[in-house]
């Protein structure tokens, strides 16, 4: 998994993270007109389709219909890890 994917996977474990804000912010990125994104420093470009897939995945996770996940514990917090072909999300298991 790339550094970009690892950062996205860890993003939702922050104390003050908010899935609704993430989705709202990411929607702005999805709607923009571009072909490639450079998600982090020293990271290869990714095509817009990956950005769209990330947005869709987070919406499905939020809806509770994402399907299978790997349960775990990170920093003492119960989590669920959803793996996708080019990225993963780790979210609090609430």
- Indicate yes or no: pTM above 0.75: no
- CA 37: distance to chain centroid? 15
Q: Please report, for the chain, the start and end positions of each structural domain, with discontinuous segments joined by +.
A: 3-92
Average pLDDT, the chain: 81
Q: List pLDDT tens digits, range 45-87.
A: 888 998 899 999 999 999 999 999 999 998 888 999 999 998 8
């Amino acid at each position: 998994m790339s550094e970009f994917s690892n950062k996205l996977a860890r993003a939702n474990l922050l104390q003050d993270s908010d899935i609704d804000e993430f989705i709202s912010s990411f929607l702005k990125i999805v709607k923009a007109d571009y072909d490639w994104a450079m998600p982090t420093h020293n990271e290869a470009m990714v095509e817009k389709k990956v950005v769209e897939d990330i947005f869709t995945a987070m919406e499905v996770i939020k809806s509770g219909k994402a399907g299978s996940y790997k349960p775990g514990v990170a920093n003492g917090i119960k989590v669920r890890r959803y793996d996708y072909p080019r990225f993963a999300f780790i979210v609090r298991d609430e």
